[in-house]
Amino acid sequence: MLVYLTRKEHFNAAHKLYNPSWTKEKNDEVYGKCANANWHGHNFDLYITIKGAPDPETGFLFDVKKLSQLIQEHITEQLDHKNLNVDVPFMKDKICSIENLVYEIWHQLLPHLPAGVSLHCVKLYETPRIYVEYFGD
């Protein structure tokens, strides 16, 4: 009996899209207004999905309050009310696209999940109309 449990969290952050090996002109051409030098920002919605078999004693795959605490401790407290390009060690020297963010979030969270629980998906909304998902390789 395999079930998938999802918890939604959120964070509010500034970022810009910028490749430091390019000229300002090329950054503007590729990224448009997302390259604005003084930053812009978003309310990000983050959905973490884990999978596994519920424990027959508790009926839980994993206590969703503990899952929420793990996500907050390892992910959203690192990102909330921060500048993703400047303030976040695990995004250092990386282009701050949501494609790269979901990959890094996956690898930040993975070591902290308990035995018997698999990470299934990291899904990140940048706006209500744009999201990226990563399921591991």
**Positions marked catalytic:** 34, 81, 126
Beta strands 3-15 and 118-127 are unpaired
Please select the residue that binds a copy of itself; options are 60, 73, 110, 114, rule is CB under 8 A.
60
The least distance separating a copy of itself from the CB of residue 137, rounded to whole angstroms, comes to 6
Q: Does 39 bind a copy of itself (CB under 8 A)?
A: yes
Map the footprint of a copy of itself across residues 75-94, applying CB under 8 A. Answer: 80-83, 86-87, 94
- Does the CA dihedral 11-60-50-125 come out positive or negative? negative
Please select the residue that binds a copy of itself; options are 20, 23, 38, 92, rule is CB under 8 A.
38
Are the CB atoms for 82 and 10 separated by under 8 Å?
no
Dist. CA 1–CA 60, nearest whole Å: 12
Nearer to a copy of itself by Cβ, of 55 and 112: the residue is 55
What are 102-105's contacts with CB under 8 Å, separation 24+? 102/132, 102/133, 102/134, 103/134, 105/46, 105/75, 105/134
Cα 5-6-12 angle, rounded to 5 deg: 160
Q: Does 32 bind a copy of itself (CB under 8 A)?
A: yes
- Contact residues for a copy of itself (CB under 8 A)? 1-10, 12-15, 17, 19, 30, 32-34, 36, 38-43, 54, 57-61, 63-65, 80-83, 86-87, 94-97, 99-100, 102-103, 127-135, 137
